[in-house]
């Protein structure tokens, strides 16, 4: 339960930290850290406008997307505390909960009958398909190393025992950081601020959403950031620590995660659309390095 509370708390300031980082690095005053929360609250107070041509799928998709991300947060542990739900093989359920939410978002975009939104849905589906192997190779490698298939048990059994294990944890954090950039349609794969028709991906999918529905979609995005940040934080939490150390370490890693995202978006450039697939494939390559590191630690290489 504590894990869910901390993830929800983190999600309230995560987007604001990214915005503040980008503002500071560009020499602007920029909005306050809580500005995204005010934006969500404003949208939640508004009614949604629906086209006469859409089906109930369009109305249902934002709620399904948000619910999928929220239920995925139930599976994430926090230090020595289990997630609200924890069972063998829960990392597979975690991945496919997020995939189910993305699937309904794609259906929502296609339901409008717009070729413009269909273009964005097609790209979103392709990138999600390409990033899936990287996640499963990464978590599957740690499952092989620890002999467990539950996220809590994997983190509990993983111990730093030398330079190889430290390198694996850093690489795992790097892969998860880039996975969430792809999953949340951020630089270098997508630019949330773009309005160029030929390069829009996620933003073009939600052009017909408004009011409460748009608020759910936007908040689900920042909640997904916090969920993945929690997965990264757990790699660097030792279960032998006193419990009161876990919370400040958790927030410090989430803060660092948000600042890194802000720096990438300040200094990075967006890849050409044709290069995105190559970039995403490199994530699987880095995950394979972790897999070989596991084989090395187990003496099977």
Per-residue pLDDT tens digits for 107-146:
999 999 888 888 889 989 999 889 999 999 999 999 999 9
**Tens digit of each residue's pLDDT (9 = 90 or more) over 10-52:** 999 999 999 999 999 998 888 889 999 999 999 999 999 998 8
pLDDT score of 66 more than 90? yes
Cα R_g (the chain), whole angstroms: 19
209 pLDDT band, cuts 50/70/90, is very high
pLDDT score of 197 more than 70? no
The answer to whether the CB of 85 falls within 8 A of the CB of 239 is no
Q: Model-level pTM?
A: 0.93
Q: How far is CA 83 from CA 4, 5, 150, in A?
A: 7, 10, 10
Report the candidate in 228, 222, 15, 209 with the shortest Cα–Cα distance to residue 105: 209
105 pLDDT band, cuts 50/70/90, is very high
Query: Could you tell me the residue ranges of all domains in the chain?
Result: 2-297
3 pLDDT band, cuts 50/70/90, is confident
Q: What is the mean pLDDT of residues 139-164?
A: 88
Report the candidate in 208, 202, 7 with the shortest Cα–Cα distance to residue 114: 208
pLDDT score of 236 more than 70? yes
- Exposure string for 148-185, b = 16+ CB within 10 A, e = fewer: bbbbbbbbbebeeeeeebeebbebbbebbbbbbbbbbb
């Amino acid at each position: 339960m504590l894990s869910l509370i901390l993830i929800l708390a983190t999600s309230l300031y995560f987007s604001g930290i990214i915005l503040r980082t980008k503002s500071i690095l560009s020499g602007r005053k920029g909005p306050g850290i809580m500005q995204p929360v005010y934006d969500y609250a404003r949208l939640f107070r508004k009614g949604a406008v629906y086209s006469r041509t859409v089906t109930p799928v369009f109305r249902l998709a934002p709620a399904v997307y948000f619910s999928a991300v929220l239920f995925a947060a139930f599976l994430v542990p926090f230090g020595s505390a289990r997630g609200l739900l924890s069972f063998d093989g829960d990392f597979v359920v975690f991945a496919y909960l997020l995939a189910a939410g993305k699937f309904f978002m794609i259906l929502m975009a296609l339901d409008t009958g717009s070729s413009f939104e269909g273009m964005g849905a097609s790209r979103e589906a392709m990138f999600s398909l390409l990033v899936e192997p990287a996640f499963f190779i990464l978590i599957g490698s740690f499952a092989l190393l620890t002999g467990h298939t539950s996220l809590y048990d994997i983190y509990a059994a993983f111990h730093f025992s030398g330079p190889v294990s430290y390198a694996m944890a850093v690489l795992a954090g790097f892969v998860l950081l880039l996975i969430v950039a792809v999953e949340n349609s951020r630089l270098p794969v997508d630019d949330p601020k773009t309005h160029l028709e030929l390069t829009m991906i996620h933003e073009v999918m939600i052009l017909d959403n408004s009011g409460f529905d748009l608020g759910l979609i936007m908040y689900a995005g920042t909640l997904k950031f916090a969920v993945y940040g929690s997965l990264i934080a757990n790699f660097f939490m030792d279960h032998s620590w006193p419990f009161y150390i876990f919370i400040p370490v958790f927030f410090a890693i989430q803060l660092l995660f948000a600042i890194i995202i802000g720096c990438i978006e300040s200094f990075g450039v967006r890849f050409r659309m044709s290069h995105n697939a190559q970039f995403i494939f490199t994530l699987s390559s880095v995950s394979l390095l972790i897999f070989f590191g596991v084989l090395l630690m187990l003496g099977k290489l």
